[in-house]
Amino acid sequence: MLIVTGAGRGIGAAVARRAASEGTPVCVNYLRSRSAAEALVAEIRDKGGDAVAVRGDVSVEEDVRRLFDTAVDRLGPLTALVNNASSTGGLASVMDLTMDQADLAYRTVLRSVLLCTREAARRMAVSRGGVGGRIVNISSTGARTGGTGEWVHYAALKAAVNTHTWGAARELADEGIRINAVAPGLIDTDLHRDNGVPQRPDLLRPTVPLGRIGTPDEVAEAVWFLLSDASSYVTGSVLEVGGGR
């Protein structure tokens, strides 16, 4: 069973669909996008898959425990996790950043990864009776480019996600747990609209060497590779899906 955080739309929804197409039961976590999450679950079930939508704020410890307990109760043992939930906190220059923006980004980008990875590892670890598992963190190419002029705070937190991926992968390898990250670049999602710049992809398109904007499905393919046995010798890696940008 796979838990995907923030799976009501965008990359998270694409990952849920891709996993379900391979016969994996999927827990679709959401916070505000209830109708989208429930529609996704209905879509998966209509195609013969197994899925459930569970609301929960993955930056809140109690919600995370309830999310995992509910998912296991409804869908069976946990074998995979995709830490996808995220928010930039909003566009802000370094000088204009508010701590409310920074705190929102921290909670959704990094705190959620710390909490959910800990909960998953406790259930997957062979030393605690688990059978191992796979975790994929959704990072960003901004962790490398810096998010200059837009969201340096967000990029810095995504860089921390990468560091956590590398360190946790080494620590938990003996527990049968593989941990990797996928770092999307310019992808056609609601992120741009949510930040008040729906035209951002078109403005930045010329900076992409492949000459186009990526899709959530393309990111989902990379995530599925890291979740599948095809990547059985891969852990502690950050795979960029950014068209060369």
Kindly tell me the sign of the dihedral angle through the C-alpha atoms of 60, 66, 67, 72. positive
Q: Are the C-beta atoms of residues 16 and 197 closer than 8 Å to each other?
A: no
C-alpha distances (whole Å) from 175 to each of 82, 113, 133 are: 18, 18, 9
Convert the chain into a string of H (helix), E (strand) and C (coil).
Answer: CEEECCCCCHHHHHHHHHHHHCCCCEEEEECCCHHHHHHHHHHHHHCCCCEEEEECCCCCHHHHHHHHHHHHHHHCCCCEEEECCCCCCCCECCCCCCHHHHHHHHHHHHHHHHHHHHHHHHHHCHHHCCCCEEEEEECCCHHHHCCCCCEHHHHHHHHHHHHHHHHHHHHHHHHCEEEEEEEECCECCCHHHHCCCCCHHHHHHHHCCCCCCECHHHHHHHHHHHHCHHHCCCCCCEEEECCCC
Cβ count within 10 A of residue 58: 26
Is 154 catalytic? The answer is yes
Residue 184 identity (one-letter amino acid): P
Catalytic residue among 30, 106, 154, 233: 154
Which residues are marked as active site? 154
